[in-house]
Structure 1
Amino acid sequence: MENGLKELQQRLVEMLSSFQKFTQQNGMIFFLVGGSALGAVRHQGFIPWDDDVDIAMMREDFEKMEYLMSLQHDRLGEFIYSPVEKHMIPDAPIGYLYDTLHADAGYENTAKIDIHPIDGVPKSGVLKKVQKWTSLIYYLSEYRLPVKNKGKAIRNISKVILKITPGFIFRFYMRVCKKIMTSWRTSDSEYICSLFGVAGYEREVMPKSYLLPLKEADFENKVFMIPGNYDPYLKRLYGDYKKMPPEMEQHPRHKIHELYKK
């Protein structure tokens, strides 16, 4: 075990529990996704070398959560929330819950939970392309950074757009693109998507039945919700998710854990 990794993971569980209490008190639901859902299924907790947590909320609950957080100055006890459009660190257009412990070293060096909004997906192939491209333009407009994890061609196109577009146009793009890309309600859609998930739009689009109804799962001796039909969900993202990766890949992605060692 890497020095400090267990302590970091314990802190992340504390953060999850605090966020769970907040959402339950306010009638909202979140669930583990991505590597955290994989950890719950395969390890009943963290993937042994994992150093962050990924959760998701349906768009309606996500927007409600951001509003309620704003009413308490984006604070949740010892933790601080970074809203989508007021990020403390430019990154993907999702929510982040940061630990304030070690924040003096920069929030990029402290424990965090990634909170992904889940949106409905249109049936039409044309409208799917509209949703995909408006989400990419939204990303560009908000962070003024080249798009990541979407391929070399899209990244190069985004660099050109950034050079030739004035700031006031980006602010207009943000308003319009958010309205378009979130037009399809999850309750009315057969398919859903984490628009800014690391797997990319095509792989992140999946039947809503992969997620709902949610089910309880053990995670580090706590109980959290995970996608109810987790087998096809995890296969969609990871293929043979029951197989452990090569030993050379079994290490934390960041150096955050070093600050948490006692």
Structure 2
Amino acid sequence: MEELSLEEIKKVQLDILIYVDKVCKKHNIKYSLADGTLLGAVRHKGFIPWDDDIDILLERNEYNKLLKVLYDEKDSKFKVYSLIDEGYFYPYAKVSDTDTRIKEKNWPDYKDLGVNIDIFPTDYVPEGCEKEYYDKTMHYVNGLYDCLTDIAYAHDKSYVRLIKRILRFRKVRRNRKKGESYWKNKINSMTCLKESSKMSRLVEGNFQIWDKSILKQYSELEFENNQFSVVKDYDKILKSIYGDYMELPPVSERVPCHDFIAYKE
């Protein structure tokens, strides 16, 4: 297999995003570029030069709709992965290029996962106790996620890592022998809540809570010579994550944040 350069990885990721965008437009599914991808669109009209991933964000019901469509389509070039797939341990979905493979240095290999983009759901949070609820839920969901990765690392005989994770997350220590489906159901039950006026990304990320209205209006921005969907009030989201997001970080921080090697078959 041939190792891919950063620019080649970005080209594959852009092709995946174009595919997902077409699916969303065809089925009237609302999504937004997210995190560094959204920042890249606003500040660079494309990838942040030193970035190496693409993220999109959807309301939970739109997220579920998108996953159903992607699974039903069974595209030969692109494949979706989520918690319904055996052995998949990320609490959010990915769409992967089937002609590539990745090897992450700090995570177990997952079957035929290739170069991919991340798809994040947002969920409602109770009004009046947002920060407390967010912290509690993130702690619990991350602990459950640890249990899923413990299963994978146990298969890889990384027992030291397994023991450290289990001891750190005391609430689930008694149930550490539960199977994969048990922990996945726990994660889903924690993040699917009744409607309120506040929303957050509970499965992964830093503390950000937004009015649900922010995810109701959309526009488009240029990203690598293509137009993609973004929330109309992207300024509020970017400020909540990055502060003064138009200011470039120090040169020492302009490095890829993911630790993986990608190959083309």
TM-score over 0.5 (shorter chain) = yes
Query: Which residue matches 1:12?
Result: 13
Q: Distance in 1 between matches of 2:144 and 2:56?
A: 24
CA offsets per residue over residues 75-131 of structure 1, 9 Å max, x none? 43311111123265423x111111222327656984211100111222131x77456
Q: Distance in 2 between matches of 1:166 and 1:205?
A: 31
* Secondary structure of 1:46's aligned partner: coil
Amino acid at match of 1:103: R
Q: Quote the offset at 1:256 in angstroms.
A: 4.8
Q: 62-71 or 18-27: which moved more?
A: 62-71
Is residue 2:95 matched to residue 1:117?
no
- Decide whether aligned partners of structure 1 residues 112 and 249 sit closer, same or farther in structure 2, where only a CA change above 3 A counts: same
Amino acid at match of 2:192: T
- Decide whether aligned partners of structure 1 residues 173 and 88 sit closer, same or farther in structure 2, where only a CA change above 3 A counts: closer
Query: Which residue matches 2:210?
Result: 206
The answer to which structure has the higher strand fraction is 2
Q: Distance in 2 between matches of 1:135 and 1:70?
A: 28
Amino acid at match of 1:165: N
Amino acid at match of 2:249: P
Q: Is the 8 A contact 1:191 1:205 kept in 2?
A: yes
Q: Is the 8 A contact 2:81 2:95 kept in 1?
A: yes
Q: Distance in 1 between matches of 2:234 and 2:102?
A: 38
* Secondary structure of 1:144's aligned partner: helix
Q: Quote the offset at 1:135 in angstroms.
A: 5.5
Query: Which residue matches 1:228?
Result: 232
Q: Is the 8 A contact 1:51 1:254 kept in 2?
A: yes
| Structure 1 residues 7-46: aligned runs within 5 Å | 7-46=8-47
Q: What do you get for the CA RMSD once the two structures are aligned?
A: 3.2
TM-score normalised by L of structure 1: 0.77
* Secondary structure of 2:49's aligned partner: coil
Is residue 2:106 matched to residue 1:103?
no
* Secondary structure of 2:119's aligned partner: strand
Q: Is the 8 A contact 2:89 2:149 kept in 1?
A: no
Task: Please list every run of 5 or more consecutive structure 2 residues that lacks an aligned counterpart in the other structure.
Answer: 104-108, 151-164
Query: Which residue matches 1:152?
Result: none
Q: Distance in 2 between matches of 1:87 and 1:222?
A: 34
Amino acid at match of 1:18: Y
Is residue 2:197 matched to residue 1:193?
no
* Secondary structure of 2:58's aligned partner: strand
* Secondary structure of 1:35's aligned partner: helix
* Secondary structure of 2:68's aligned partner: helix
Q: Distance in 1 between matches of 2:200 and 2:61?
A: 14
Q: 5-14 or 33-42: which moved more?
A: 5-14
Amino acid at match of 2:175: T
Q: Is the 8 A contact 1:146 1:158 kept in 2?
A: no
Task: Please list every run of 5 or more consecutive structure 1 residues that lacks an aligned counterpart in the other structure.
Answer: 148-154
- Decide whether aligned partners of structure 1 residues 87 and 132 sit closer, same or farther in structure 2, where only a CA change above 3 A counts: farther
The answer to which structure has the higher helix fraction is 1
Structure 1 stretches of 4+ with a deviation exceeding 6 A read none
CA offsets per residue over residues 8-50 of structure 1, 9 Å max, x none? 2122111111111112222212210111000000001111111
Query: Which residue matches 2:243?
Result: 239
Q: Is the 8 A contact 1:33 1:227 kept in 2?
A: no
Amino acid at match of 1:239: G
Percentage identity across paired residues of the two chains: 26
TM-score normalised by L of structure 2: 0.76
Is residue 2:252 matched to residue 1:248?
yes
Q: Quote the offset at 1:173 in angstroms.
A: 6.7
Query: How many residues of Structure 1 are paired with residues of Structure 2 in the alignment?
Result: 241
Q: Distance in 2 between matches of 1:42 and 1:87?
A: 38
